[in-house]
Amino acid sequence: MSMEEQLMNLKNEALSLILSAEDGKTLEEIKLQFLGRSGKLTLALKDIVKVPVENRAEVGKLANEVKQAVEEALERQEGFVKKETITKKRAAIDTSIPGIQPQIGHLHPMTQVMLDVVEVFKQIGFQAADGPEIETDHYNFEVLNIPKDHPARDTQMTFYLDTRNSKVTPGEVILRTQTSAMQGRVMQKVKPPVRVIVPGKNFRYEQVDASHGFEFWQVEGFCVDTHIRLTDLFGTIDYVLRRLMGQDIKLKFATTNFPFVEPGVDTYMECTVCKGKGCSFCKYAGWSEIMPAGMIHPNVLKAVGYDSQKVSGFAFAIGLSRLVTLRYHMDDLRLLTNPDLRILKQF
């Protein structure tokens, strides 16, 4: 048998075996049988040196073609066999078995409490407004009776935006330090009576610890009309906090100072953990400061274009993070921004 005939026979034998192979293991065996180190085709290729020189190039070319054809057939059949196995496996899946339920998330505790706050205020006629987190010094401070040299600015560790490559006066654009900044924006546009709340995030350059964050949530609120008195403020705070935290909570008021209110009022709630006895949660005070407030200062009313002789109003801020930690007895604010699902799943 000539070398050419021998090669063609090997090719036919290999291809017919490959085409009838039904699994990867058989194909592997065929590969070894023909292309392995002592495979039939490998040995035949080695014999090419025995072919007379004048025919060698032609036989060599044929040998390479045969080898290539066998390799290609092997590859094609491998792909085919793989697909077949997958289809067979698919057919074996029992579709009547119940599937795996995807996990369903829920609102973050902070959002849940915020929506509760909005709902309670809505029922007593307050509308919710949204404002910018990037604010101007004007609305964040000036309108609120806190001029450039006012010492109250020291308590509001402010983040200033880099305005070097713009036309903005340096120091004029900041991250708002208080949602009170929306008082001016709303009151300049809306004539009394106004009853508005502003839930939102604020930013201060604070050292982060268990009770301070550099980013915190507040719900600011204000109400301006004719004949608004301090007792309206007390009544509103009392009603809202009892709706949110339970009818049996204990509250007390004290005077305080904020430049945009006169008088300023601080609201304290008896610690929900120790019932006023003093514990590490309330830092042994028995009470937690929860809602600063006051009667809007005439300078603020004037700055927004209201007639301070004709209208009066009150303003307040609820520390939303504080409300959440008091409601759920959490001793560290940072738990609220921890992404660990074991914490979030508890709400």
Return the percent helix, strand and coil in the chain, to nearest 5: 45, 20, 35
State how far the Cα of 300 lies from the Cα of 282, in Å rounded to an integer.
34
Binding-site residue total for ligand DAH (CB under 6 A)?
Answer: 11
User: Does the protein bind ligand DAH through residue 233 (CB under 6 A)?
Assistant: no
Report in angstroms how near the CB of residue 212 gets to ligand DAH at its nearest: 13
Q: Which is nearer to ligand DAH, 220 or 270 (CB)?
A: 220
Category of 305 on φ-ψ map: left (φ > 0), alpha (ψ -120 to 50) or beta = left
Q: Within 307-346, which residues bind ligand DAH (CB under 6 A)?
A: 315-317
CA angle 115, 119, 123 (to 5 degrees): 170
249 neighbors 255 (Cβ within 8 angstroms): no
- In b/e form, how buried is each residue of 320-335, taking b as 16+ CB within 10 angstroms? bbbbbbbbeebeebeb
Report in angstroms how near the CB of residue 243 gets to ligand DAH at its nearest: 19
Of positions 109, 259, 292, 313, contacts ligand DAH by CB under 6 A? 292
Report in angstroms how near the CB of residue 292 gets to ligand DAH at its nearest: 4
Residues 172-201, one symbol each (x = binds ligand DAH by CB under 6 A, - = not), give ------x-x---------------------
Could you please report the per-residue DSSP string of 74-122? HHHHHHHHHHHHHHHHHHT--TTS--PPPP-----HHHHHHHHHHHHHH
Report in angstroms how near the CB of residue 330 gets to ligand DAH at its nearest: 21
Q: Which is nearer to ligand DAH, 180 or 236 (CB)?
A: 180
Distances (CA, A) of 279 to 90, 188, 267, 283, 325: 61, 45, 19, 6, 14
Report in angstroms how near the CB of residue 236 gets to ligand DAH at its nearest: 12
Q: Which is nearer to ligand DAH, 271 or 317 (CB)?
A: 317
User: Does the protein bind ligand DAH through residue 272 (CB under 6 A)?
Assistant: no
Q: Which is nearer to ligand DAH, 144 or 244 (CB)?
A: 144
Of positions 34, 126, 258, 306, contacts ligand DAH by CB under 6 A? 258
Options 38-46, 69-77, 241-249, 290-298: segment touching ligand DAH (CB under 6 A): 290-298
Of positions 261, 271, 304, 336, contacts ligand DAH by CB under 6 A? 261
3-state secondary structure 227-270: CCCHHHHHHHHHHHHHHHHCCCCCEEEEEECCCCEEEEEEEEEE
Q: Which is nearer to ligand DAH, 34 or 258 (CB)?
A: 258
User: Does the protein bind ligand DAH through residue 220 (CB under 6 A)?
Assistant: yes
* Dihedral angle over CA of 87, 92, 95, 97, nearest 10: -140
Report the interface residues with ligand DAH, using CB under 6 A.
178, 180, 220, 258, 261, 292-294, 315-317
